[in-house]
Homo-oligomer: A and B are copies of this chain.
């Protein structure tokens, strides 16, 4: 794990949360991106090495909508940047962690990603990500 690449926050609407986080972080949202594979809209903020990613569901029954229904808006996941995602997935699998996808998939922000099941990580949804070169 090289660093905390970003922290994902589930929000009901980017329209309301982007201005709120601009005030909170005292910095402008520098990018929004639709992630079709996950059916979400995302908005990014920079704080030194770690990004803050706000996530809004596109669909009523998407994973983010379900998360908000269950737990309310708030912290959703931590993403760690790794050198080689396949090597790290193999290492974690061998350590007993449950991977949510067998192969890296295309995520937001030009990344290959893999999620770990929160059941195996103390309730924390962990994302591994590697920049696509």
A residues contacting B by CB (< 8 A) are 1-4, 7, 9, 11, 17, 20-21, 23-27, 47-50, 71-78, 80, 91-92, 95-97, 116, 118, 121-124, 126
Contact = CB atoms under 8 A, between A and B. Distances in A.
B4 A50 contact: yes
Nearest to A71: B71
Most buried by B among A25, A77, A78: A78
A28 B52 CA distance: 26
Most buried by B among A3, A27, A97, A116: A3
Contacts of A23: 95-97
Given A48-B49, A71-B71, A122 B4 contact: no
A17 to B, nearest CB: 5
22 contacts: A1-B24, A1-B25, A2-B48, A7-B7, A7-B78, A9-B122, A11-B122, A17-B122, A20-B121, A20-B122, A23-B96, A24-B95, A24-B116, A26-B91, A47-B80, A48-B49, A71-B71, A72-B123, A73-B122, A73-B123, A75-B77, A75-B78
